[in-house]
């Protein structure tokens, strides 16, 4: 199977909370200690059985004989190191109430009595297990595929050492598209098996079928210190809600939102920062800047390197920035902690230690008290070749690439 996406493919890191490649493909290459089944219940994955409360601690036993696609062993020590790595990157606040485990043989021992909370935390897609010496430029895990990266191409090859089961497909080749039209052009001509966010560039491909694997992440608008008085909780979401959904229709940002009768951007003129290696995000930033700008309050999309964007976001020395935020777990609370972790990391710990009661609250509503706004969703949807089957699960948004297959020809 072959297709292309307008996202960077130079690294694959399951612990990166702003990586669309991670949101799209990490599940194909990595596993967590626990996972959700079709009914939404937590079940063991790399763990041998359910977490056990023994005295004053929770114990998680790691399965025997686990190996990555490149043959490296995975045991309790590797799992403890992976949890520490995830904590230092995208899961710091979410793991605030989960103590670092002690390792005893193949058992992880957590100094807490809350087995349910440990299980839920270790089922986060950003808590995936990786081997010692893991490098995002040479990803290696226990999933149904083995990954290799080279010059903007991600190749997923069947992993016969997979902890779950090897993939049905022999190989998936994903190429970075240089613009939003490249995927649709290749799909319409029959060169690709998937059309990202559409059924064709000029007209639908004959026989094509739609697919929609749901929202993988959120497109977030961050407000920095250079925004002056507009650097206040809730204002970023008001700005996002003032954007007419029809003006952003080509980006497939999810369900249309209720338009706020605001006046666009009324803060100081400045740059809307966006990472320069994500064509989809760059085009969106240009459109957003054009729609929001007002006389005396002009915004200009400014593509910068991913490293510079990360530094600016950390220092908050910018006016506005557009980036991606992955939810840390399924449901409203996972979305809320992900947004807070990305915008105000110091608050994420307190939020996790004292979680609010949330129902099925949309992410846009959650952001109304934050210094970040939800512009829309990053969705996995578009057109597929008629002989492709792309399984999805309501409990884990995205395509189950390991179960993807082709129908047999009659």
Name residues whose C-beta falls within 8 Å of residue 203's C-beta, 6 or more positions apart in sequence.
188
Please give the structure tokens belonging to residue 380: 């996995």
Please give the structure tokens belonging to residue 169: 């497909």
Quickly count helices (H) and strands (E) in the chain. 10, 22
Domain regions of the chain by residue span:
2-13+137-214+382-406, 27-127, 215-379
Listed residue (97, 150, 157) closest to 351, CA to CA: 97
What's the CATH fold of domain 2-13+137-214+382-406? D-Maltodextrin-Binding Protein; domain 2 (3.40.190)
Q: Which DSSP letter does residue 177 get?
A: -
**DSSP string computed for 239-283:** HHHTS-GGGGGGG--SS--PPP---S--S--EEEEEETT-HHHHH
pLDDT at 357: 86
CATH superfamily of 215-379: Dipeptide-binding Protein; Domain 3 (3.10.105.10)
Strand partners, 153: 150, 175
Separation between Cα atoms, residue 185 and residue 335, nearest integer Å? 34
**DSSP string computed for 132-173:** TT--TTS---SSSEEEEEETTEEEEEE-TT-SS---SSSEEE
Q: Are 286 and 179 in contact (CB under 8 A)?
A: no
Separation between Cα atoms, residue 175 and residue 40, nearest integer Å? 33
End-to-end CA distance of the chain: 19
pLDDT at 165: 92
Query: How does pLDDT run along the chain (410 residues), one tens digit per residue?
Result: 999 999 999 999 999 999 999 999 999 999 999 999 888 899 999 999 999 999 999 999 999 999 999 999 999 999 999 999 999 997 888 998 999 999 999 999 999 999 999 999 999 999 999 999 999 999 999 999 999 999 999 999 999 999 999 999 999 999 999 999 999 999 999 999 999 999 999 999 999 999 999 999 999 999 999 999 999 999 999 999 999 999 999 999 999 999 988 778 999 999 999 999 999 999 999 999 999 999 999 999 999 999 999 999 999 999 999 999 999 988 899 999 999 999 998 888 888 888 888 888 899 999 999 999 999 999 999 999 999 999 987 667 889 999 999 998 75
pLDDT at 395: 64
The gap from C-alpha 410 to its chain's centroid, in whole angstroms, comes to 38
pLDDT at 410: 59
Backbone angles phi, psi at 401, to 5 degrees: -60, -35
* CATH architecture designation of domain 27-127: Alpha-Beta Complex (3.90)
Backbone angles phi, psi at 210, to 5 degrees: -80, 155
Quote the radius of gyration of the chain (alpha carbons, Å): 21
């Amino acid at each position: 199977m072959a297709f292309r996406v307008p996202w960077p493919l130079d690294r694959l890191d399951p612990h990166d909370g702003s990586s669309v490649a991670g949101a799209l493909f990490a599940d194909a290459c990595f596993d967590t200690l626990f996972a959700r089944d079709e009914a939404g219940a937590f079940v063991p994955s790399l763990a041998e059985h359910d977490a056990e409360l023994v005295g004053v601690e929770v114990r998680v036993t790691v399965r025997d004989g686990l190996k990555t696609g490149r043959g490296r062993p995975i045991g309790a020590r590797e799992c403890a190191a992976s949890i520490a790595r995830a904590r230092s990157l995208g899961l710091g606040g979410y793991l605030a109430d989960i103590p670092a485990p002690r390792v005893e043989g193949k058992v992880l021992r957590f100094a807490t009595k809350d087995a349910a909370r440990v299980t839920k935390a270790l089922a986060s897609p950003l808590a995936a297990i990786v081997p010692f010496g893991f490098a995002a430029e040479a990803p290696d895990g226990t999933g149904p595929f083995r990954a290799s990266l080279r010059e903007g191409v991600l190749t997923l090859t069947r992993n016969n050492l997979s902890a779950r089961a090897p993939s049905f497909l022999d190989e998936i080749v994903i190429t970075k598209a240089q613009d939003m039209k490249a995927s649709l052009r290749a799909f319409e001509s029959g060169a690709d098996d998937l059309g990202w966010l559409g059924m064709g560039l000029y007209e639908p491909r004959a026989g094509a079928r739609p697919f929609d694997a749901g929202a993988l992440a959120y497109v977030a608008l961050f407000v920095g210190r250079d925004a002056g008085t507009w650097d206040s909780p809730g204002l970023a979401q008001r700005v996002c809600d003032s954007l007419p959904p029809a003006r952003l229709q080509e980006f497939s940002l999810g369900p249309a939102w209720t338009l706020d009768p605001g006046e666009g951007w009324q803060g100081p003129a400045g740059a809307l920062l966006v990472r320069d290696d994500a064509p989809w995000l760059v085009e969106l930033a240009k459109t957003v800047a054009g729609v929001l700008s007002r006389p005396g309050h002009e915004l200009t999309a400014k593509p910068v390197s991913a490293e510079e964007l990360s530094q600016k976001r950390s220092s908050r020395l910018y006016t506005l920035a557009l980036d991606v935020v992955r939810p840390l777990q399924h449901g409203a609370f996972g979305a809320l902690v992900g947004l807070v972790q990305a915008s105000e990391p110091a608050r994420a710990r307190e939020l996790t230690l004292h979680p609010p009661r949330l129902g099925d609250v949309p992410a846009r509503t959650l952001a109304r008290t934050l210094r970040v706004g939800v512009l829309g969703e990053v969705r996995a949807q578009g057109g597929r070749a008629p002989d492709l089957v792309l399984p999805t699960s309501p409990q884990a948004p995205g395509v189950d690439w390991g179960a993807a297959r082709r129908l047999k020809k009659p």
